[in-house]
Amino acid sequence: MTKTVLIAGASRGLGLEFAVQYAADGWRVVAGCRQPETARGWLPAGVDVQALDVTSPESVAALAWHLDDAPLDLLICNAGVAGPDSSRFAAPGDAAFDEVMHANVLGPARLIQGFGSNVARAGGVIAVMSSRMGSVQETESADMLAYRCSKAAANMVVKLAANEFGPQGACVVALHPGWVRTDMGGAEATLGVSESIDGLRAVLDGLSGADNGAFIDHSGRRLPW
């Protein structure tokens, strides 16, 4: 039976590579993109490209209507923004902070609320793209306050969702892709996009119920909260 993956933020970077790889492996890929007409130009043929803005409850609801009650084997919450690039401790402005938190925290929460039951019915996986920068224990600098806070909060969303949907049959995890050469990661990053996604897919393929609520990097290492 063909498996189905819904990828939020599939128009570039990690989300695009997820879509390319899963489509190549014969999955049904639903690609949620803020600008679907543009994204169709570089997503593989056969991918179901749908409009999705995770900061808009109406947009998430419209996609939920499109998918109806179809089971989802995998939900990847990848959409997000970096926010202000501060090199030292600096409180961001209200608008900048709101933008980061709405995209990186409320976005995955809305997606999981909208599609968690679809995943649970399939006994599938909900994966939230987090970051080691959201680990309180491993934080050793004072930069990127808004982004770090948003990823720490997204990790809490994962733990809450694991408590809700784990007993229903889903496995909910936070993933750290590594420092990847994307628009967000920059040219000096240590990992290529395909290398990161290869690792993350191996992690996703190897998950079991015992991993529900875990924080895992692309190499399979468990990360501290």
For residue 222, is it within any domain?
no
For residue 225, is it within any domain?
no
For residue 51, is it within any domain?
yes
Q: What is the pLDDT of residue 189?
A: 67
- Supply the CATH number for residue 82's domain: 3.40.50.720
Q: What is the pLDDT of residue 184?
A: 67
For residue 22, is it within any domain?
yes
For residue 106, is it within any domain?
yes
Q: Residue 182 belongs to what domain range? A: 4-217
Distance separating alpha carbons of residues 107 and 41, to the nearest angstrom: 25
For residue 111, is it within any domain?
yes
CA angle 120, 100, 82 (to 5 degrees): 100
Backbone angles phi, psi at 211, to 5 degrees: -90, 0
For residue 20, is it within any domain?
yes
| Structural tokens at position 169 | 């049959």
Q: How many Å from the N-terminal Cα to the C-terminal Cα in the chain?
A: 36
| Structural tokens at position 148 | 């770090």
Q: What is the pLDDT of residue 188?
A: 77
For residue 223, is it within any domain?
no
Number of structural domains the chain divides into? 1
Q: What is the pLDDT of residue 204?
A: 98
* Half-sphere exposure in the Cβ direction for 102 (13 Å, CA): 11
Length of the chain: 225
Q: What is the pLDDT of residue 163?
A: 98
Residues of the chain below pLDDT 50: none
In three-state secondary structure terms, 135 is: coil
